[in-house]
Chains A and B, each alone.
Chain A
Amino acid sequence: MAAEPRLTARVEASPEGLREAAATLDRFEAAQGVDPESAWPVHVALDEVLSNVVRHGAAGPRAVLIEVTFAAIGDHLEVVVEDDGPALNPLTLPAPDTAAPLEARQPGGLGVHLVRNLMDRVSYTRDGDRNRLVFARRLRPARRPDAPKE
């Protein structure tokens, strides 16, 4: 069986690193012929997960490194985010109150709430001294050039 297509980026937990990771996702989508209209939830999830790592890692004494791997598995786009920062399972954060009035709204927790709801699956493991978060979403493939028009 052929290995599934994948692309890995190693970036620092920094704004530049986030940009680089998002650009790598763009490249992977283009290479896989993903319909650009359908991939936005993966971009949102990636932004939420990586900005969490940046925020959490900033409290530590040294730069945190992130390894992001994008893989096409069947009709799903799977993203694996591994970092060597302090242990952080974002899936244990309490869900935000999305029914509160404006005055009572707090922005905390919204990011993870979006990831949970936009992705078909999300899981966290602490793997030795690394955090490993995996999330995936089913995507519409872009129409292949040789495919008949619908």
Chain B
Amino acid sequence: MDIVQVAADGALVVAPAGRLDSTTSETFEHALATALDGGTRRLVIDFSGVSYISSVGLRVLLVVAKRLKSDRGALVLCGLGDAVRQVFDLAGFLPLFAVEPTRDQAVKRAAA
């Protein structure tokens, strides 16, 4: 799985590409854990390149969200396509996360 990371206005944008499933979630988890260990507290995850997400990917998001919440950080998600949004909806994840349509809006919200 390719994961692009970009710093934007005080936030780190992490954009994974492809399928977020049990064959790729370890790479995703490692990238996020490395960012948090390195001091990132304002995090945007851009899902626009993700074709679908399974429960292992959801588990990674839960871990990151809990950690950022206890660190008083910010986590904003953006670029959710139909497949990702449907899985979030079924899992009851939409109320747990700040979600914005675009990366620009997500970065603004994370920096606020």
Q: Does B22 contact A (CB under 8 A)?
A: yes
CA distance A99 to B95 in the complex (A): 9
Q: Does B65 contact A (CB under 8 A)?
A: yes
Q: Name the residue on B nearest A100 (C-beta).
A: B92
Interface size class for chain B? 20 to 34
Q: Which residues of B contact A40 (CB under 8 A)?
A: 51-52, 83
Total cross-chain contacts (CB, 8 A): 71
CA distance A99 to B42 in the complex (A): 25
Q: Could you tell me the dominant secondary structure of chain A's interface residues? A: helix
Interchain Cβ contacts under 8 Å between A and B, 9 examples = A18-B22, A40-B52, A44-B53, A101-B96, A102-B65, A110-B59, A113-B90, A114-B54, A114-B87
Residues of A within 8 A of B (CB): 15, 18-19, 22, 40-41, 43-44, 47-48, 50-51, 54, 96, 98-103, 105, 107, 110-111, 113-114, 117-118
Residues of B within 8 A of A (CB): 19, 21-23, 51-56, 58-59, 62, 65-66, 69, 83, 86-87, 90-92, 96
